[in-house]
Amino acid sequence: MNRNQWRTWAVIASSVLPVALVGCADQPEIESSPVGANATAEAIQLSNVLVDPPPEGDSYKPHESAVVRFTVFNQASQPDELKSVEAEVATEVRLMWDQDCDGTAEPSSAIPVRAEGTVPDPMGDPPFAGTVYFLEMEGLKEELRSGTTVPLVFEFEEAGSIAVPATVLTGEEATLPPLGCRHG
């Protein structure tokens, strides 16, 4: 396999098979992965937090929008809920979720995270393809260059705030699954 194929498989595997990490209750544990950043706080683990590559060139320009992908896993015995995400570089960050698995993700006021699990599978069990939930950073306030990081703060109902630096990918780093869910 070539380098891009390995990265593609890493992105797909991370969205399907979250890896449990142990973190401290007060401070999030942040580590880097080949694709994106990981952070753990309380019982919530965020994996492969990354910004899609700019569609043209090597940077996003002010006023453009950017997609943030991530995987979330809840290690607690009680469900939790992603309430919001803050990014100082954007005027708004929208939670997007393709709850009906119709290929179109809609803005959501919250994204549920099951106890000892992840976001509920759309329309029951897989097979499905695509990215079921993600973020849209709207109205970028500054240029975002490929290879840099964007500080994000995820706010969960039970676990509280988790800060993580999302890497802005370059065009040749990965072939990403489509946004929205599609039955396989």
Phi, psi of 55 (to 5 degrees): -65, -30
Residues 120 and 114 sit within 8 Å (Cβ to Cβ): yes
Query: What pLDDT does residue 174 have?
Result: 65
Query: What pLDDT does residue 15 have?
Result: 39
Please report which confidence band the pLDDT of residue 73 belongs to, taking 50, 70 and 90 as the band edges. very high
Please report which confidence band the pLDDT of residue 125 belongs to, taking 50, 70 and 90 as the band edges. low
Given a cut of 90, is residue 178 above it in pLDDT?
no
Residues 135 and 17 sit within 8 Å (Cβ to Cβ): no
Distance CA(16)–CA(10), nearest Å, equals 10
Of the candidate ranges 39-48, 64-73, 172-181, the one whose mean pLDDT is the lowest = 172-181
**What does the pLDDT average to over 44-71?**
94
What domain range is 50 assigned to?
3-183
CB-based burial label for 109 (10 Å; 0-12, 13-18, 19+)? exposed
Angle at 95 between CA 90 and CA 99, to 5 degrees: 160
pLDDT digits (tens, 9 = 90+) for 134-150: 999 999 999 999 999 99
Given a cut of 90, is residue 100 above it in pLDDT?
no
Given a cut of 70, is residue 7 above it in pLDDT?
no
> Which of the 8 DSSP states describes residue 128?
E
CATH of the domain at 50: 2.60.40.1890
Given a cut of 60, is residue 11 above it in pLDDT?
no
Tokens 């006021």 label which residue? Answer: 109
Tokens for 95, please give them: 């939670």
Predicted model pTM:
0.78
Q: How many domains does the chain have?
A: 1
